Amino acid sequence: MSRRFRFLYVGMVSAVAALAATAVASLVLTAIGASPWATYVTIFTGPLADVFTASEILVRAVPLTLVALGIAMSFRSGILNIGAEGQMLVGILASTAVALALPGLPKLLLLPLSLAAGAAAGALWGGIAGVLRARLEVNEILSTVMLNYVAAQLYTFLLRGPMIDPDELMTGSGTPQSMRLPRSAWLDRLVPGTRLHTGLLLALGLAFVVWVLLWRTTLGYRLRAAGAGSKAARYAGVRVERSLVVAMLFAGGFAGLAGAVEVAGVHHRAIEAISSGYGFAGIVVALFGGLHPAGIVPAAAFFGLMLVGADMTQRSAGVPANMVLVLEGVIILAIVSARMYVNNPYAQERAARFLRRIFRSPPVRTAGATDDPETAEETQP
């Protein structure tokens, strides 16, 4: 396959994917009486129009990055963590509880302590699934999904009962939320007038740390070996079961930290629906980013853009945000399928054949062209 052909091929696949996604989405939008063009323009350019909305993209990318980093570590280690949502929730509970219990501590102590509590709680929650898999061979997808339910109920119970803000009870409004965190437990704002907080730097720093951990340390080598070839790893003396538990501790820890950062950086209290589905979107971000920190960071930003775009569309184009989620699903599917096609040599071979037939380029078998398939391809339009 010549480089020129490959270039053409990638371009074509991308174009077809974009076209297909646009066609499906336009159909849906037209059906509800909205303008497809205006909607698209809003989703993809609206958020970049001013500093505030642009900063919101990053605000959303922070928890997505953190969750996805943990997911990448677990997937690379051969254990599929679907429980980031639950791990986030227990992380929020723990960090909020610590911040509220020790309001007198100086910021230098309280903030790290509360973030660490969130990470530790998430790690513990993830660790349960890890131990169950390592010891009893309980399928981790089953256990993490079930633990999500448990965490969600625990969260609701605590926010409506023991952890509810006393003010809410006094005024009688009864909104299920915790007390506001003391200022010494807040992450600082990076850009005045926006909600963008220092959690962004933390997420970027940790992306680098995860890269070092996975590819530059013996622990990372062990985890990746257990994930990519558990049998060979076992023969070589790696304790694969232990690696699974370690991986789940990391995955849960990152999800818990994502929750804690969301509280300390954005909401400053535990509220309902705080996770916004980041725990699940993080899985998509991780896979989309190729389970590699260098891919995860831009993938998280892209997802952040789409989330903010969805909010704006609701307001400016009159398209319900739920409908935008449908569009986003279609776009993601198109991108993922396109990527499969681009990376599949068989598909490429088939496409080359197809083109040859369509354009009736000189049959490669005629004399003269026999030795050089490149020339045959060059003659294609």
Partner 1 sequence: MTSAPVPPAPAAVGARPDGSAEPIRELELDGITKRFPGVLACDRVSLKVRRGEALALVGENGAGKSTLMNILAGLYQPDAGRILLNGEEVEFRTPADAYARGIGMVHQNFMLVPNMSVAENVALGLRSLHRGLRLDMKEARRRVLEVSEHHQLAVNPDVHVRQLSVGEQQRVELVKTLCLGARLLILDEPTSALTPQETDDLLERLQRMTEELSIIFISHKLNEVKTLSKRIAILRHGAVVFSGDTASHSTAELATLMIGREVTQARNDGGGAAGEPILTVNGLRVRGDRGHLALDGLDLDVRAGEILGLAGVSGNGQRELADVLAGLRPVEAGTIRFDGEELAGSSPRRIIERGMGYIPEDRHHEGIVPAFSVKENLVLKDFATARFSSGAFLRLSAIDRNATELRERFDIRCASTGAATGALSGGNIQKVILARELARAPKALVAVYPTRGVDVGAAEFIHGQLLALRSQGAGILLVSEELEELVNLSDRIAVIYRGRILGVLPSRDATRERLGLLMAGVTA
Binding site for partner 1 (CB under 8 A): 1, 216-219, 221-222, 224-225, 228-229, 231-237, 239, 349, 353, 364-365, 369-371, 373, 376
Nearer to partner 1, 295 or 373 (CB): 373
User: The tokens of 44 are what?
Assistant: 């993809």
Considering the complex, what minimum distance in angstroms separates the CB of residue 230 from partner 1? 9
Nearer to partner 1, 6 or 315 (CB): 6
Which amino acid would we find at residue 83?
G
Nearer to partner 1, 226 or 260 (CB): 226
Considering the complex, what minimum distance in angstroms separates the CB of residue 325 from partner 1? 34
Nearer to partner 1, 170 or 367 (CB): 367
Considering the complex, what minimum distance in angstroms separates the CB of residue 6 from partner 1? 9
Considering the complex, what minimum distance in angstroms separates the CB of residue 237 from partner 1? 4
Considering the complex, what minimum distance in angstroms separates the CB of residue 2 from partner 1? 9
Taking each helix axis from N to C end, the angle separating 107-136 and 240-262, rounded to the nearest 10 degrees, works out to: 140
Nearer to partner 1, 194 or 375 (CB): 375
- Whole-angstrom Cα distance, residue 324 to residue 21? 13
Region of residue 318 (left: phi > 0; alpha: psi -120 to 50; beta: else): left
Q: Are 116 and 122 in contact (CB under 8 A)?
A: no
Tell me how many degrees the CA angle 329-323-273 measures, rounded to the nearest 5.
85
Tell me how many degrees the CA angle 224-261-99 measures, rounded to the nearest 5.
125
Q: Residue 144: what are its φ and ψ, rounded to 5°?
A: -70, -40
- Alpha-carbon distances of 284 from 43, 46, 146, 212, 329, rounded to whole Å: 19, 23, 20, 22, 11
- Whole-angstrom Cα distance, residue 129 to residue 141? 9
Nearer to partner 1, 197 or 224 (CB): 224
Considering the complex, what minimum distance in angstroms separates the CB of residue 35 from partner 1? 44
